């Protein structure tokens, strides 16, 4: 047994000695290149990349462009027409509303007008202070008036010398700055005296009698107004003027006015 063990040890030592004593074989680079080429031939190539083409929409035809342009023009025309209609309607509404306000103010405001109280009787006699022609200034409106100034005068004219272009008044007052209230339906009397001698000259046609005046006032809206009046006395009908005896509106243009 011992002999067999020694024999195995010797046999193993001899085998390892032979392996370590073998010469080293150099590496064959050509063989490695051939192996690499063969390996590259055996390795499959990557799959080709597929580029997907996107088809762009074709440009509109000439007819389609014209149709679209006409359609846009129609839309623009409709929009422009609508804007014009709205603008015209707005302007008309403004003027109508302003006219309604003006009409309401005219209907509600004070209106001071003049009138002769009575004509001169044919047998009129002058009293201690002469004959008086009475003129009434009345508020014919629906709201009060605030009178700020009143002027009047009676004047005789001839055929060669009439009234001056601009009236000259004898002013009453003074009035308070805020004015004197004249309620609706109320009157203010203004008289002009005429002597018996002057009246005779009027009756026979030597002189013509004019009674004229002015009143200034404010209405309830704070607007200022004035009324100018002028009356001429006609003692009898004539061939040129068949009007009966009485006072009539007359005089130059600047003597009659109402605002």
State the Cα–Cα distance between residues 78 and 88, nearest whole angstrom. 15
On whether both 234 and 117 belong to a single domain, the answer is yes
Q: How many domains does the chain have?
A: 2
Domain boundary among 57, 88, 108: 108
What is the rounded CA–CA span in Å between residue 34 and residue 29?
9
Six-digit token pair at 75? 């839309």
Residues 127 and 231 in one domain: yes
pLDDT digits (tens, 9 = 90+) for 98-116: 778 778 878 899 999 999 9
Closest CA to 230 of 257, 251, 254: 251
| pLDDT tens digits, 195-249 | 888 989 999 999 999 999 999 999 999 999 999 999 999 999 888 888 899 999 9
Residue of 101 and 81 predicted with greater confidence? 81
| Residue-level length of the chain | 259
Q: Return left, alpha or beta for 52; rule: phi > 0 is left, psi -120 to 50 is alpha, else beta.
A: beta
- Taking alpha carbons only, the member of 162, 152, 149 closest to residue 230 is 152
Domain assignment present for residue 3? The answer is no
14 in any annotated domain: no
Please say if the pLDDT value at position 128 is more than 80.
no
The answer to whether residues 125 and 99 belong to one domain is: no
- Could you tell me if 157 and 253 lie in one domain? yes
Please indicate, yes or no, whether residues 169 and 213 belong to a single structural domain of this protein.
Answer: yes
Judge residue 211's burial from the number of C-beta atoms within 10 Å of its C-beta, 0-12 exposed, 13-18 middle, 19 or more buried.
buried
Answer yes or no: do 214 and 254 share one domain: yes
User: Domain range for residue 76?
Assistant: 69-108
Asked if residue 10 belongs to a domain, the reply is no
The answer to whether 129 and 257 have CB atoms below 8 angstroms apart is no
In a 3-state reduction of DSSP, which class is residue 142? coil
Q: Is the pLDDT of residue 170 over 60?
A: yes
Specify whether 162 is located in the same domain as 254.
Answer: yes
Among 60, 93, 108, give the residue marking a domain's end. Answer: 108
Q: How far apart are CA 227 and CA 110, in angstroms?
A: 12
Do 236 and 124 share a structural domain? yes
Whether 176 and 137 share a structural domain: yes
Which tens digit of pLDDT belongs to each residue from 19-65?
444 544 444 555 455 555 445 555 555 556 555 555 555 555 767 77
> Which runs of consecutive H residues, i.e. helices, occur in the chain?
2-20, 29-42, 62-108, 196-203
Question: What's the angle, vertex CA 241, arms to CA 236 and CA 246, rounded to 5?
Answer: 40
Q: Are 194 and 118 members of one domain?
A: yes
Provide the β-strand partners of residue 249.
Answer: 231
Rounded to 5 degrees, φ, ψ at 42 are -80, -25
The position carrying tokens 């422009």 is 80
Please tell me whether residues 77 and 144 are part of one structural domain.
no
pLDDT band at 255 (very low <50, low <70, confident <90, very high): very high
User: How confident is the model over 103-130, as a mean pLDDT?
Assistant: 84
In this structure, is residue 160 part of a structural domain? yes
- Which of 60, 88, 108 is the endpoint of a domain? 108
Q: Is residue 250 part of a domain?
A: yes
Q: Are residues 123 and 100 in the same domain?
A: no
The CATH number given to whatever domain includes residue 118 is 2.60.40
pTM value surpassing 0.75: no
């Amino acid at each position: 047994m011992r002999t067999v063990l020694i024999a195995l040890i010797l046999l193993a030592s001899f085998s390892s000695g032979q392996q370590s004593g073998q010469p080293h074989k150099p590496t064959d680079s050509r063989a490695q290149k051939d192996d690499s080429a063969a390996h590259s031939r055996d390795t499959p190539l990557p799959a080709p990349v597929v580029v997907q083409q996107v088809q762009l929409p074709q440009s509109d035809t000439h007819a389609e462009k014209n149709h679209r342009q006409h359609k846009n023009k129609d839309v623009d025309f409709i929009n422009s027409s609508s804007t014009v209609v709205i603008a015209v309607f707005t302007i008309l509404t403004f003027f109508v509303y302003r006219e309604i306000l003006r009409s309401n103010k005219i209907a509600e405001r004070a209106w001071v007008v003049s009138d002769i109280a009575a004509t001169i009787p044919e047998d009129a006699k002058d009293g201690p202070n002469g004959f008086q022609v009475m003129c009434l200034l009345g508020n014919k409106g629906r709201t009060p008036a605030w009178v700020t100034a009143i002027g009047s005068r009676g004047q005789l004219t001839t055929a060669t010398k009439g009234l001056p272009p601009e009236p000259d008044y004898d002013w009453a007052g003074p009035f308070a700055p805020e004015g004197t209230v004249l309620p609706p339906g109320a009157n203010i009397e203004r008289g002009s005296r005429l002597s018996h001698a002057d009246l005779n000259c009027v009756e026979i046609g030597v002189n013509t009698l004019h009674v004229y005046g002015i009143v200034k006032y404010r209405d309830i809206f704070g607007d200022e107004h004035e009324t100018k009046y002028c009356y001429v006395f006609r003692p009898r009908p004539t061939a040129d003027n068949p009007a009966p005896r009485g006072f009539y509106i007359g005089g130059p243009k600047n003597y009659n006015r109402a605002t």
